[in-house]
Structure 1
Amino acid sequence: MKVIAYLYSNPLLETAPDLSGWGWQVDEVYRDQAVEIATHSDNRKGRKASARPQWRQLLQDCQNQPADYLLVQRLDHLGDSVEEVGDRLAELEALNIRLILLESTPDPPPTALQTTDLQADLLKLLQQLQQEQHSRRIRQGHARNRIKALPPPGKAPYGYRRSKTRYIVDRTTAPVVKDFFEQFLLYGSLSGAVRYLAKRYSKKISVSTGHRWLTNPVYRGDLEYHNGEIVPNTHEAIISRDEAAQVDRLLRRNRRLPPRTASAPRSLAGLVTCGECQSPMTVTRVTTPRKHQEYLYLRPTGCTRQPRCKLMPYEQVLQQTIERICEDLPRAVSGAPLPDMDRIKQGIEGAIAARQALLDQLPPLIASGVLDPETADLRTYKLRTEMAELQTQVSQLPPVNLKAIAQAVSIPQFWLDLSESERRFYFREFIRQIEIVRQEADWQLRLGFIF
Structure 2
Amino acid sequence: MPRRRSSTPRSNAGRVILYVRVSALMGRGGDDFHSPDVQADGMRNLIARENLREVGVIDDDIDESGRSLDRPGIRRIRGMVEARQVDVVAVYTLSRVGRNLAESLEFIKWLRKHGVSIISATEKIDDTPEGQFMVGMWLNMAELQSNQIGQAWARVIERRARLGRPHGHAPQGYTRTDAGYIVDERLGPAVREMFTAYAAGAPVAQIVAAYGAARGTPIQRSTVKVMMRNPIYVGRIVLDSSTGGKIEVPGQHEPLVDELTWARVQRRMATDRQTPPRHLAAAYSLTSLGMCPHCKRNLQIWHSTEHGKDNQTRRIKCTRRNQIPDADCPGIGTPLYAPIEREVLRAVEEYAAKLRGDPGAREAQLARVVQAGRNVKGLERELNRTKDALIRLTEGWARGDVPDVAYEAARQRFADAEAKLAAQLEHAREVADAPPPAQVVQLVDEVLDLWGDMTEAERNRGLKTVLVKFTVRRGVWPREPIEDRVGGFVWRW
Q: TM-score under structure 2 normalisation?
A: 0.44
Bigger CA radius of gyration: 2
Q: TM-score under structure 1 normalisation?
A: 0.47
